[in-house]
A and B are shown apart, each in its own frame.
Chain A
Amino acid sequence: MRPAPRALGRLGAHALVAAGALVMLAPFYFMFVFATQARGDIFQLPPPLFFGAELAGNFEILTTRLPFWRNLGWSLYVALASTLLTLLFCSLAGYAFALLEFRFKPALFALLMATLLLPSFMGMIPSFLVMDALGWIDQHRALYVPGAASAFGIFMVRQYALGAVPRDLIEAARLDGCGEFGIYWRIVLPLLQPVLGTLGLVTFIGSWNNFMAPLVVLRSASNYTLPLALRSLQSPVNTEWGALMLGSAIATLPLLVLYALASRRLIAGLTAGAVK
């Protein structure tokens, strides 16, 4: 008599998890559905469940209300700049911490790890003042320079380099007269490719989604990145919901594509701190 209830329980678990997965995905579905609906139609009873015909209309509103392509371009520019700088600085430092010997290494590494514990809001106010003093307010470099050598990224590269780069290879190259930077560029960097791919994805997504830093630093609407631009469309009255949903959908689309292409790698990268 045991197997029957157990099978029933299994079935129940399957159904529950599947329903949960639907709840997880539903907001994305409706984001895309609403992006094709007129403002008046989104808030009907019952709400629209399928795609409408207002995609072009919403797009028109979106591009007249916002310098949308500029905003998209800035998001892309900041995300790429931040990714490239992060890959350079994190691979250099991660390699050094993994494979080179130098004085104060343990202390320097401990300091690096300690900075991971600082809550993000601690920097919000004073970093605004620093940007102000540097004349970086409303400048995009204020978004990609400060975090370019991320402690998390350095840690990630270090963990990987420990297992992936043979010390003998570095010694051999050094004896052959290869310079220190040459060793990094020609030997270490190619071997670090897998972890740098993951770190690049994580950094790009983090920058693409960043809201707090641009909110504090950027001032003019033509300099806004996408999240800020979308927020500026939101108002207590008369929000153009269809256009806003279309903008949100466009901001989400690249992430969905990246996720479809590299979900395993992304999940591994984002949970890396824990698993290692």
Chain B
Amino acid sequence: MNEHVNPVAAAGLPSARAAGTAGSPVPPQPVPRRRWRVSPRWAPYLFVAPFYLLFAVFGLFPLLFSLFLAFHSWEPTSGLAAMRWVGVENFAFALDDEWFWKALGNTLWLALASGLPQHLVALGLAVYLQGLRPRQRDLTSGAYFLPYITSTVAVAIMFSSLFSTDFGLVNALLGAIAGIAPIDWLGTPAGLQAAITFIVFWRFVGFNTMLYLAALQTIPAELYEAATLDGASRWRQFLHITLPGLRPMMYFGVTLSVIGGLQLFEEPFILTGGRGGTDQAGMTAAVYLYRMAFDFNDFGGASAMSWLLCGVVALLTWTTNRAFAVRRAGRA
């Protein structure tokens, strides 16, 4: 269509006007092919429309429908007509359901047990990487980040072989190095939770390290120079310069870990074959939701639970926010 625009893009900013008006062999066509033209007034709405359309159909409508479902008893196989209003019965059932609390407890525990070491190690590792030369830094951080991009399913399958009781590599190593008797990782509640915790730690520690490393680059070097001149020890510099400088990123990273940790699904699902494991020790909230809907066919109950869980996520996100806000206020 408008060939005369091409040189504009190629030539860059200063010559743009000249190329368009004088340099072009073809004069601008007045109102060509009207029906393909979008008026500047409506173009922006057209450009952003796909997001809102897709969100309305696949995001908002399903959410509202699940809120509606939460107050109904319904099995999808029996058709829409079989939907029955039950009031808050689904919520009452969830709050009275032993497995619901179990799943919630598992989720919170796994999020904490994998999240806390993740951030402590990531923090130390980032400070260490900061002191390396760029090439070594890229290489080392590359190794730690790699687990983050790989298929969770492939990795969980891999780990279920590494953690197997009789002949798994983990037990073989523990036996050879420390003389520890084989541990039933996947068959006991504590072992299963330890295995899940490790896999989550393994997958996300590099991601958090990169967050902290990026934040470290923004702390001015003069602060450290001045502190060294004042005779402050490295530990004091870490406490009084590094940590405060990292606080905004820590807030961001911890929030991501809280939100992500409460949605934990794939690792426990694969490790327990989708059933939750011994004594339901690997049944996280998301796994239980899946089972409620697709194994037990209770879509109303599952919807009610998803809203309760959403409330928990919101509450914990808010709490994280408060925790960091209070600290910030206390410092200022």
Q: B-contacting residues of A (Cβ < 8 Å)?
A: 13, 17, 20-21, 23-25, 27-28, 30-31, 34, 42-47, 89, 92-93, 95-97, 100-102, 105, 108, 111-112, 115, 117-130, 132, 145-149, 151, 154, 166, 168-169, 172-184, 186-187, 190-191, 205, 208-209, 211-212, 215-216, 226-227, 230-231, 234-236, 241, 244-245, 247-249, 251-252, 255-256, 258-259, 263-264, 266-267, 270-271, 274-275
Contacts and interface: CB of A to CB of B under 8 A. Distances in A.
Band of interface residues on B: 35 or more
Contacts of B172: 45-47
A205 B16 CA distance: 38
Interface of B: 1-2, 4-6, 8-9, 13, 16-17, 20-21, 28-30, 36-40, 43-45, 47-48, 50-52, 54-55, 57-59, 61-63, 65-66, 69, 76, 121, 125, 128, 138, 140-155, 157-162, 164, 166-169, 172, 176, 202, 206-207, 210-211, 214, 249, 252-253, 256, 259, 262-263, 265-266, 269-270, 273, 285-286, 289-290, 293-294, 299, 302-303, 306, 309-310, 313, 317
B286 A124 contact: yes
Given A30-B162, A227-B153, 10 more contacts: A124-B306, A126-B303, A130-B65, A146-B57, A147-B54, A187-B9, A248-B155, A249-B154, A258-B149, A274-B256
A17 B125 contact: yes
A128 B66 CA distance: 11
A230 B140 CA distance: 30
Nearest to B33: A179
B162 A27 contact: yes
Given A166-B13, A267-B210, A271-B211, A130 B289 contact: no
8 contacts: A13-B128, A24-B143, A121-B285, A126-B69, A172-B8, A177-B29, A231-B270, A252-B150
A124 B249 contact: no
Given A176-B4, A245-B158, A121 B62 contact: no
A121 B309 contact: yes
Contacts of A264: 138
